[in-house]
Amino acid sequence: MTHNVLVVDDEPKLCDLLASALGQNSIQVFTAGNGLHALKVLECEDIDLVISDWRMPGMDGPQLLAEIKSRFPQLPVIVMTAYSTVKNAVQSMRNGAFDYIAKPFDIDELDITVSKALQFRDILKDNQRMRAELDEHQQIDSLIGDSPSFRRVLHAIDSVRESNATILLTGESGTGKEMVARAIHKHGNRADKPFVAVNCAAIPEGLLESEMFGHRKGAFTGAVADRVGRFMQADKGTLFLDEIGEMPLALQAKILRALQERVIEPVGDPRERKVDVRVIAATNKNLLDAVANKEFREDLYYRLNVFPIPLPALRERVEDIAPLARHFAHTLGATAGKRFTGFSAEALQAMAHYSWPGNIRELQNCVERATIVASGAVIEEEDLPAYLFASNAGTSGALVTEGSVPADLEAALAEVEKAYILAALAQSNGVQAAAAQLIGISERSFWYRLKKLGIHVDKIVR
C-alpha cells in the first residue's frame, strides 16, 4: 500500500534527500518549504504522515504542529531538529508529536520511526473505516430479500467474492449496486484493504483522468502538488467504478490498459506504476447498445463483463418490499429516536401495489418520510407520501391485471414509468429537481429518463 508523507523544511536539499530516502519504501513524498505551504498541501491531499523541521521562518515547527493537531487531530507528526535538546523533544511530544528525530539523522533510524508512525496511521484509518461502515443506514449486511430473483444475486456474490475477477453490476438506478459491491469486498479476500468508490458521472470530464490515475505537480494549471489517483488509493483492495457507462471514450482506453496490464501512468509523469486492484463496475445503461452506438468501447465492455451480476428492479421482487421497509423503519427510526413495530396491512398493501421506479433508494426515502410523520409505533397508510396513491390511481390501466399480459413488456413498462414521471412533474409544477426527489431518484437519472421517454418540460431547473 502506498502512503503519502509530507516533508516540511526550508532547506530544499534536505527535502530532496528525504524524498529520495523515503521514496524507496513505496512512499509518495510531498514537500513544503514552510508551515503555511504545508497547510495548503494538507487541505488538498490525503497525507498519512508529516515530518516537519523544528525551526523555520514564518510559521515554525511548534506552530505548525499546533495547527495540525487542531485541524487534523489523528494525523501523526514527526519533528526534526538540529537543536536536539531534551527540552525541545519533551515539548514536542507534550504538544502531540508522534516522535522526533535529531539532525543529522541516521537513515535506518528514520526508516524505523517513519514505519512506526505509518503503522499507527493505518490502525487509525482502519478504525475510522469500520466505524463508517457500521454507521451507514444501508449496511452491506442489510442485503435483505428472499425472492427468487434476489436469491440469484446472493448466490452470485457468494460465488465470486473470493476471486479477483472483474465484475459488472447492471440494473436500474437505486437497485443497490454499490451495496452489492461493498458486500463482495467485505466478504472477499481483500476485506482488510481499501474499498474506493468513484462515481464516473459526478466528476468533470477534464478532471477525471487526474482523479483516476493521479498527477504530478505542475502537470496542468492548478496542479500545485503531486496527487495520488483512485487506482493507487485502492491498491491491494477494490475499486468501484459506478456509472461506468458515462465515462468519456478518450479515458476508456486508459482504463482498459490499467485493467489489462495492471499499470497506470499519472498525468505529467511518464513513469508507469504497478497496481493490484480488483475492479467492480456498475451501470444503469445498456452497454451493448452503447457499444453499437460507438459510445462505449467494445473491448472495454468485454474486459469488464467477466462476471456479470444483473440486479432486479424492486417491482420484480415485490415479496421483498415488506422486509426491506421494516428494516429501514427500524434503522431510520432508531436514528430519529423512535421505535417502530411495523406497518399496518393497508400500508404494506399500498407499497406492494406501487411500481417503485426509483427502486430501493425510493423505498428508503418513502420510509424515512413515514418515520418522520408517524405518531404511533405502527406506520399507517396515511403516513405514506401521497404520490404513491396518485401514481397508482393514474396508472392503474397500465398495470397488469389477472388474466391480462402485455404484448410488449418493454413498451408497457415505459408507459408506467412515463406516467409516474408526468405525475411527479405535475406535483412539482415542472421543477425537475423536486420531481426527481419525489420519486426517489437522482436528478441525472431523471434527466436521462426524460430524454429516453421523449418527455419535454417547459420549466427546467438544474
| 134-176: pLDDT as tens digits | 544 444 445 888 899 999 999 999 999 999 999 999 999 999 9
Last residue of a domain, one of 273, 291, 312: 312
- Please check whether residue 393 lies inside any domain of the structure: no
In a shared domain, residues 307 and 192: yes
Last residue of a domain, one of 282, 312, 342: 312
On whether the CB atoms of residues 312 and 175 are closer than 8 A, the answer is yes
DSSP-assigned beta bridge partners for residue 308: 168
pLDDT in tens, 250-309: 899 999 999 999 998 888 877 888 999 999 999 999 999 999 999 999 999 999 999 999
On whether the CB atoms of residues 38 and 32 are closer than 8 A, the answer is yes
- Please check whether residue 180 lies inside any domain of the structure: yes
Query: CATH number of the domain that 369 lies in?
Result: 1.10.8.60
- Please check whether residue 394 lies inside any domain of the structure: no
In a shared domain, residues 361 and 214: no
- Please check whether residue 308 lies inside any domain of the structure: yes
DSSP 8-state secondary structure symbol assigned to residue 106: P
In a shared domain, residues 188 and 263: yes
In a shared domain, residues 273 and 334: no
- The number of helices, as runs of H, and strands, as runs of E, in the chain is 19, 16
Start-end of H helices in 57-106: 61-71, 86-94
pLDDT (0 to 100) of residue 130: 61
Query: CATH number of the domain that 429 lies in?
Result: 1.10.10.60
In a shared domain, residues 158 and 205: yes
- Please check whether residue 391 lies inside any domain of the structure: no
In a shared domain, residues 156 and 289: yes
pLDDT (0 to 100) of residue 84: 54
Closest CA to 249 of 297, 195, 206: 297
pTM equals 0.59
In a shared domain, residues 363 and 329: yes
Q: Give me the number of domains the chain comprises.
A: 4
Query: CATH number of the domain that 89 lies in?
Result: 3.40.50.2300
In a shared domain, residues 156 and 237: yes
Q: The C-alpha cell of 350 is what?
A: 399500498
Q: Which residues of the chain have pLDDT under 70?
A: 1, 83-90, 128-142, 221-224, 390-412, 427, 458-462
- Please check whether residue 423 lies inside any domain of the structure: yes
Last residue of a domain, one of 363, 385, 407: 385
- Please check whether residue 36 lies inside any domain of the structure: yes
In a shared domain, residues 164 and 39: no
In a shared domain, residues 300 and 341: no
Interaxial angle between packed helices 409-427 and 443-453, expressed in degrees from 0 to 180 and rounded to the nearest 10: 120
DSSP-assigned beta bridge partners for residue 273: 264
pLDDT (0 to 100) of residue 313: 94
Query: What is the C-alpha to C-alpha distance for residues 351 and 369, in angstroms, rounded to an integer?
Result: 14
- Please check whether residue 425 lies inside any domain of the structure: yes
Query: What is the C-alpha to C-alpha distance for residues 326 and 331, in angstroms, rounded to an integer?
Result: 9
pLDDT (0 to 100) of residue 423: 75
On whether the CB atoms of residues 46 and 233 are closer than 8 A, the answer is yes
Structural domain boundaries, residue 428: 399-462
Burial of residue 200 (number of CB atoms within 10 Å: 0-12, 13-18, 19+): buried
In a shared domain, residues 88 and 176: no
pLDDT (0 to 100) of residue 412: 67
One-letter amino acid of 373 = V
pLDDT (0 to 100) of residue 460: 40
In a shared domain, residues 256 and 150: yes
